Amino acid sequence: MSSFQSIQKAAREQWQALQESADPVLYLGMGSCGLASGAGEVWDQINKTIASKKLNVRILKVGCIGPCYLEPLLDIQMPGNPRYCFNNVDGKKAEKLLLDYIKNGESKIRPIGYLGNGKFPVNGLKSFWDQPMLKNQVRIVLRNCGIIDPENIYHYIARDGFKGLMRAFELGPEGVIKEVETSGLRGRGGAGFPTYLKWQLCRKSKGEKKYLICNADEGDPGAFMNRSLMEGDPFSLLEGMIIAAYAIGATDGYIYIRAEYPLAIERLKIAIQQLHNHKLLGKDIIGSGFSFDIRLKEGAGAFVCGEETALIASIEGERGMPRSRPPFPATSGVNGSPTNINNVETLATVPNILREGGTWFAGYGTKTSKGTKTFALVGKVRRTGLIEVPMGTTLRQIIYDIGGGSLKEFKAVQTGGPSGGCLSSDFLDLPVDYESLTKAGSIMGSGGLIVMDKDICMVDVAQYFLRFTSQESCGKCTPCRIGTKKMVEILEKITAGEATMEDIHLLEKVAETVHKGSLCGLGQTAPNPVLTTLKYFKEEYIKHVEEKRCPAAVCRSLVEYRVIKEKCTGCQRCVDVCPTHAITGPKSEPHNLDKSLCIKCRACYEICRFDAIAGDAIVIE
């Protein structure tokens, strides 16, 4: 038996024992989103109950399974049963569930689904994967997220982990590149460059030392696909990196990861250590003769470092500024050596391609965009979370079938982050692939999908993105440095109600110049949010300019807060919450709002809408 087979055997035995455990096993979703929803409190409560009642119960941390709106998610696996999934659990609910199941083997709290096999005593319970948010998904890269313990390499190996790497070693480097070519995999970071070609270029470059970098700087605001993947299944990324390094002949690997993701960093560190312990990383990996090691580099917060040459400068300890290409990193990257850079999702997809074959992967998707893609489905949509769908799925399927539709009347969907654009309802039947999105004026980007309803002002959204890109512009080239700033100034004029139609023409002209004249992708794509909103939502701009009015009542200079005297119950809730004491009035009498003091922060509006004794009396118009 080879050394890998013996690890595999031990891993399968451990996984099997967990499924057939004679004691109850709990699985708690403890990704960042689970923790933000209160999973930490649930964890503490369960452990307290286990200790105080001396229960024989095991509890495991798992990653995020995707539907963040159901977090915290707790699975209970009783002996012989599958995992029953419970949503929106807090400490109290968790304790009740645990005690109910221990005592009676069931609970009045109904699970929303089950995971795995076994007996099904809960009547009519469907699989968790039949949830409306999940049933139209195809999970390839996310297949382990929420299922395995991300801090236990045996779980990963038991679920066919490192089989892809073993096959890669059989195929040889050229064979690996061929397999990836067959799969049609393109870069998941946004640009969609064919992965095999990138590898081939780097493989053919001459250099004593070659580097492989994983770009985990996920800088797009509104996107968290990579975070979730690294927190839920760090091993698939590491396996993908080893395969990529083997294909191009790299000996040194870096994961450039943003410091804002402390949990992902922690899990990757643990995973790297476990790989070392099993000789799956380092010198002579599992007797193959191939040596490769991975180091983490924490990014320090600069959006431009998503650009390849800026990222390399940052790794070298410089300001993260891009340089003109050629030479491309494939010929001259880190310390002048050939360097290959891939995105997290691209690399984590690779083990699946090697394991199941390129033809299998190419069976999903469209003619030019193969396989599946993960998206962060967020904003004004009913079911928020992380999803994975075949390329070519339409925006309508994603937003309505999976996401359950927008909260209020649908207005737009933003794709591709600050480099992307806003698409109107006319584009709902657009298939999501690289070419279709680019043709519509947006981009695929890394996978953020932000749904916007009628409460969102498109001019404000354009202003938001341009403020972001102008702050993140590194300042090296003039069109980007000055151009984005000028665009922000014009947008600020529009949202303040001080602009003329002439300003809109000027905005278009500056956008064109920034697009054509900038050195790197940041500047070249920065105008996209402006250009697409001008194209598809021009009437909103015109209303801001000609009527000095913000139809969505978002732009602060153009709205006022008012108390409707007839509705006000005089409950004084708004008086308590107003940070500037702009609202006054005795109890039980209609309150008065002093507009000169009002900072339009919405505190009064929120409390008046949601508090039981308030009368929904505050309007913004």
Partner 1 sequence: MENLQLILKEYIAGDRSNLIPILQHVQSDQGYISPEAITTISNHLHVSKSQIFGVASFYSQFKFNPPGRHSIKICLGTACHVQGGDFLLAALQSEIGIRPGETTEDGRFDLERVACLGCCALAPVVMIDKVIHSRVSVIKLRELLTSYE
Q: Which stretch binds partner 1 (CB under 8 A): 12-20, 280-288, 339-347, 468-476?
A: 468-476
Which of residues 297, 396, 543, 549 is near partner 1 by CB under 8 A?
297
Q: Per CB under 8 A, which of residues 67..86 are in contact with partner 1?
A: 68-69, 71
526 binds partner 1 (CB under 8 A): no
CA atoms within 13 Å, Cβ hemisphere of 493: 18
Binding flag, residue 583, partner 1 (CB under 8 A): no
Cα first-last separation, the chain: 74
Instruction: Return the amino acid letter for 171.
Output: L
Is 552 among the residues that bind partner 1 (CB under 8 A)?
no
The secondary structure of residue 444, as a DSSP letter, is -
117 scored as a contact of partner 1 (CB under 8 A): no
3-state SS of 41-110 is HHHHHHHHHHHHCCCCCEEEEECCCCCHHHCCCEEEECCCCCEEEECCCCHHHHHHHHHHHHHHCCCCCC
Pick the piece of the chain touching partner 1 (CB under 8 A) from 183-191, 380-388, 425-433, 532-540. Answer: 380-388
- The count of chain residues that interact with partner 1, using the rule CB under 8 A, is 66
If one asks whether residue 403 binds partner 1 (CB under 8 A), the answer comes out as: no
**Dihedral, CA of residue 499, residue 504, residue 505 and residue 510, to nearest 10:** 100
- 528, 385, 365, 536: which is closest to 434 by C-alpha? 365
Asked if 580 touches partner 1 (CB under 8 A), the answer is: yes
In whole angstroms, give the CA distance from residue 85 to residue 111. Answer: 5
Query: Is 379 a binder of partner 1 (CB under 8 A)?
Result: yes
Q: Please enumerate in sequence order all residues whose Cβ is within 8 A of that of 550, keeping only pairs 6 or more positions apart, or say none.
A: 457, 459, 460, 495, 543, 544, 558, 559
Kindly state whether residue 488 participates in binding partner 1, applying the rule CB under 8 A.
no
Kindly tell me which residue out of 87, 314, 332, 349 binds partner 1, with binding defined by CB under 8 A. 314
Nearer of residues 432 and 456 to partner 1, judged by Cβ:
456
Determine, following the binding rule CB under 8 A, whether residue 454 of this chain makes contact with partner 1.
no
CA angle, residues 225, 227, 229, in degrees to nearest 5:
70
Binders of partner 1 among residues 209 to 268 (CB under 8 A) are: 218-224, 227-228, 259-262
Interaction between residue 474 and partner 1 (CB under 8 A): yes
Smallest gap from Cβ 31 to partner 1, in A, equals 9
In the bound complex, what is the minimum distance in angstroms from residue 495's beta carbon to partner 1? 12
- The yes or no reply on residue 3 touching partner 1 (CB under 8 A) is no
| Contact between residue 389 and residue 375 where contact means Cβ atoms under 8 Å apart | yes
The C-alpha atoms of residue 509 and residue 196 are separated, in whole angstroms, by: 38
**Which one of residues 266, 356, 606, 616 is an interface residue with partner 1 (CB under 8 A)?**
606
- The CA-atom distances, in angstroms, between 175 and each of 169, 184, 369 are 9, 15, 22
**Least Å from the CB of residue 175 to partner 1:** 34
The dihedral formed by the CA atoms of 466, 468, 474 and 479, expressed in degrees to the nearest 10: 0
Binding site for partner 1 (CB under 8 A): 32-33, 35-37, 40, 68-69, 71, 218-224, 227-228, 259-262, 297-303, 314-320, 376-380, 384-386, 414, 417, 448, 450, 452, 456, 461, 464-465, 468, 472, 474, 577, 579-580, 599-603, 606-607
